[in-house]
Amino acid sequence: ELAGKVAIITGGGGAIGEGVGRILLEAGACVALLDFDEEAARAAAKRLGQGTLAVTADVTSEESMTAAMEKVCHAFGGVDIVVPNAGVAHSAPILEHDLEDWQRLTAVNQTGVFLTLKTVGKILRRQSQGGSVVVISSKNVLAPGAEFSAYSASKAGAHQLAKVAALEWAPENVTVNLVCP
């Protein structure tokens, strides 16, 4: 059902990213696995096989995301589906949480979704053919746990970004959904 479609998955070198990639490949899509960890992305692409591309990308850098999107478009001719999946977790009580860890989680989990949406959104607009976005959310958005303040707050921010993107992009035939693995 996805023959001829191109999908991008951030955090593609991780278990969830690879699993999503497998499902999209089985449905006929070409898949680009974007990951900060080049080795992990290449290993996942190798396991998934033909129709998969590994691309090194830092979701916290607009320049890196723009370059990665250009590589995918050059390799596959465009983008139809994007799955903002890159994420990190850290557990600590609020009173013991280091600012550096808080900022790292916010940069990857929230800003990473923002930059993924921004860079792919420009491509989808240029293509003028609609598209699909599926943001990987978390149960922590609605039911946060103790000692997961940075993770829960950053995922809640990403959740809201997806809802705003859905409102803004619906007139352009771009659907935006959220799923919790």
Report how far residue 24's alpha carbon sits from residue 13's, in angstroms, rounded to the nearest whole number. 15
The verdict on whether 151 is a catalytic residue reads: yes
Contacts of 11 (CB under 8 A, 6+ apart): 17, 34, 35, 59, 85, 86, 87, 136
Report how far residue 152's alpha carbon sits from residue 144's, in angstroms, rounded to the nearest whole number. 6
Structure tokens at 15: 């278990």
Contacts of 150 (CB under 8 A, 6+ apart): 90, 92, 97, 101, 102, 105, 106
Q: Torsions phi, psi of 142, nearest 5?
A: -95, -20
Could you tell me if residue 55 is left (phi over 0), alpha (psi between -120 and 50 degrees) or otherwise beta?
A: beta
Residues 114, 148, 151, 169: which is the catalytic one?
Answer: 151
Catalytic residues: 151
